[in-house]
Chains A and B, each alone.
Chain A
């Protein structure tokens, strides 16, 4: 996974995950067995998981807004 892309995803997650944004992303990567080199499909699986986690933390509406932002980042960067 591109370090720059990962940083952008984490920054986008920060309003909802705070200091735990990086940990949340790494946890979901580990859960999916994702390694550093990822294709677009894996990115999309990853952000689907982040969306599900966000839905528990902050509700489906804001999770959907986060998801749209993450999708845009992945489309630009993957």
Chain B
């Protein structure tokens, strides 16, 4: 039996990245409600790029967001953002939520000593969304979250974690640190990129004493996207990729 041609597919609402030249490479942006891994080695600007997208969404489209930082404290992150021209106080629509401060004050084990951090973060995100109506959530970082959670069955627990996030119905960015420079392993358990709807990879090319940044869209469900890696430039006005 021949497959029937699908005449029309409803347009997927998109969340623009506002990275100059990038949205054109993925049908106008990230599908609304997608869970996206933003991966890269240390210094690849994962956090900065993610915050930039949320910041621009807040400024240009009024979308509220919450950025959970699990290790870097809020003041330090804000200073870093200011250093690259992003002023977190320019909009009150993106909340940087310093979970690291809560950890320092109350400890990593949680109030009852047995906190399941995967569930706790999903639950707090749901609670935040319900009370403050946010549309974009970032969790920085997966490695920090993993350091707090004792896995018995990573694949199964991560499946439920991703499903819990997806059920929130908002666009989610998960910052994922890559450690092995010789392999393209996008997250620690090597299942996260299967579970995610999208994977954005930031690559640092260090040679001859210098370093260049590249951005590639490895995966984006419901999207025809370029698979090339593009030079990523950070200007005072914002981020930009250079198409071939």
B82 touches A (CB below 8 Å): no
A61 near B127 with CB under 8 A, answer no
B110 near A19 with CB under 8 A, answer yes
Known contacts A56-B74, A56-B101, A61-B92: A19-B131 contact under CB 8 Å: no
Question: How would you classify the secondary structure of chain A's contact residues: helix, strand, loop or mixed?
Answer: helix
Tell me the complex Cα distance, A16–B134, Å: 13
Give the A interface residue count (CB, 8 A). 19
Known contacts A57-B97, A57-B102: A19-B111 contact under CB 8 Å: yes
Known contacts A14-B127, A56-B74, A58-B98: A23-B111 contact under CB 8 Å: yes
A17 CB contacts on chain B under 8 angstroms: 102
Tell me the complex Cα distance, A14–B132, Å: 12
Known contacts A56-B74, A58-B74, A62-B92: A19-B124 contact under CB 8 Å: yes
Q: Separation in Å of the B212 CB from the closest CB of chain A?
A: 34
B153 touches A (CB below 8 Å): no
A77 touches B (CB below 8 Å): no
Q: Select which of A16, A20, A24, A56 is within 8 A of B128 by beta carbon.
A: A16
A61 CB contacts on chain B under 8 angstroms: 92, 95
